[in-house]
Amino acid sequence: MEQLEIRVIEIRGKCPVFHTGDRIVVEGPTINLKETDAICTHAFASLLPYIVALRKGIKPNELGLGRGEKAYIQCLDPGPPYTDGGTVIFEITVVRDESKKGVEDSERGS
C-alpha cells in the first residue's frame, strides 16, 4: 500500500493551522489522523488532485511538481498583502509499504 507523507517545509506570512514540520499522512484513500498534526480545508483543496496522482504512481516531475522523487505544492492562500493569512509550502514524499495491502490492492486480488 502506498503512503504519502506531506510535510510543511515553509510558511510565508501567518498560518493559523500549520507550523513548520507539521505533517499529514495519507494511507491509500484515507488520512491517518493519529499520525497527522493538522488539516486545513484551504490547503487540502490544493493538495487533493496531486495526492490522487502521486498515489497512482505518477512521478512529481511528470506533474511539474519537482525535479526528483519529492513533490512540492503551495497552499492557495496568497498571504500579505492580499490576505491576513499566509501560504504554506508542502513537500510530499511517496512511501510504499508492500507489507500492507490497501483497499485497492484487495479489490484487484493482489
- pLDDT at residue 102, rounded to an integer: 47
Contact 92, 50 (CB under 8 A): yes
pLDDT, averaged per 10 consecutive residues of the chain (110 residues), comes to 92 94 95 96 92 92 92 92 92 77 48
Nearest 10 degrees: CA dihedral of 80, 20, 33, 3?
Answer: 110
- pLDDT at residue 103, rounded to an integer: 47
Q: Model's pTM, two decimal places?
A: 0.83
- pLDDT at residue 110, rounded to an integer: 47
